Copies of this chain bind each other. A is one copy, B any other.
Amino acid sequence: MIERAVRARRQPDSTLVGPGHDAAVVAAADGRIAISTDMLVEGRHFRLDWSTPREVGRKAVAQNGADVAAVGARPTAFVVGLGCPPDTPVAVLDEISAGIGEAAEEIGAGVVGGDLVQAAQVIVSVTVLGELEGRPPLLRSGARAGDIVALAGTTGRSAAGLALLLAGNREFPELVASHLVPEPPYAAGPAAAAAGAHACTDISDGLVADLGHICAASEVAIDLDSRTLTPGRTLREAGAALAADPWEWTLAGGEDHALAACFPPEVVLPEGWRPIGVVATGRGVTLDGKERSAPGGWESFAPGSAR
């Protein structure tokens, strides 16, 4: 079934041996390959009453593609393990595969292999390979005091979309779309690496949480400038409609799969990147110099929020 879906697609030049053998062979021109894996489970990471099967496939590609982009690599190949109950309509599996295939093709990557098994629920397990093209890999551990913290992509839109879906609110389809199919800024990762960024991460757990991973790995502190992160009009309107705090979505919501990186201060930020804070000595993430008071507690001090 997977082979049927992927064989129909054009493989990029980087696919040296495609599906149909015991293993595929993918180019790794500079002698290194970046690799990451994620597992999406029905009912936890997606709901088939919210997402079309095609969107599930597209989300799986986005989520994994962002991980290799975060180390500065260009996604080149995906393999897919697909588990499903025996009564799953073939059309659902075909659509998941089609979503994976088209999303991969859009970013120039191939789907080079897969496995289809029976399971109690729909499970999509994706592994992505990426080419570093001669660049050093961006790690979480390279940030230094004095670096500029920059963001590529959006934060908070996916969390807002999830809140809208849970509330049954259909007024903001563009936010719901951000949740169902995130659009990571793939090119921003390689661009950051080429520009000499010191550290980078994908925002999947939430901006503050993921920057916290950089702080821990790099043994630094990060202070965010709230003026650079003010939620836009759509997020504010959605917050008002749900009586929710859009700052919470922006600072703690994951799954937009934005990228955050730390650049030396003398670097001109590449296209797509905008400054949001600075790296300092110490530990942990602050906003305008203030610590988060408690989980979910951003609203107690975030500027412009209802108190």
Q: Tell me the A residues contacting B by CB distance below 8 Å.
A: 16-17, 20-41, 44-45, 66-68, 70-71, 73, 77, 79-83, 112-115, 117-121, 123, 125, 127-130, 132, 137, 139-141, 200-202, 217
Contacts and interface: CB of A to CB of B under 8 A. Distances in A.
Interface majority SS (helix, strand, loop, mixed), chain A:
strand
One complex includes copies of this chain to the number of 2
Contact of A41 (B112, B117, B217): B117
A73 B22 CA distance: 11
Nearest to A125: B125
A133 to B, nearest CB: 12
B83 A41 contact: yes
A38 B115 contact: yes
28 contacts: A16-B137, A17-B139, A20-B217, A21-B71, A21-B137, A22-B140, A22-B200, A23-B34, A23-B35, A23-B67, A23-B70, A23-B137, A25-B32, A26-B35, A35-B79, A35-B112, A36-B79, A37-B81, A37-B114, A38-B115, A39-B81, A39-B119, A39-B125, A40-B117, A44-B118, A79-B127, A119-B123, A125-B125
B68 A23 contact: yes
Contacts of A21: 70-71, 137, 139-141, 217
Nearest to A189: B22
Contact of A83 (B26, B39, B79): B39
Contact of A25 (B33, B38, B82, B118): B33
B70 A22 contact: yes
B33 A123 contact: no
Given A38-B81, A83-B123, A68 B22 contact: yes
- Among A28, A66, A130, A137, find the residue whose CB has the most chain B CB atoms closer than 10 A: A28
A185 B125 CA distance: 27
Contact of A36 (B23, B132, B137): B23
A28 B141 CA distance: 23
A30 B140 CA distance: 28
Contacts of A121: 119-120
A17 B112 contact: no
A258 B44 CA distance: 38
- Among A71, A79, A119, A202, find the residue whose CB has the most chain B CB atoms closer than 10 A: A119
Nearest to A210: B22
Contacts of A200: 22
A200 B127 CA distance: 24
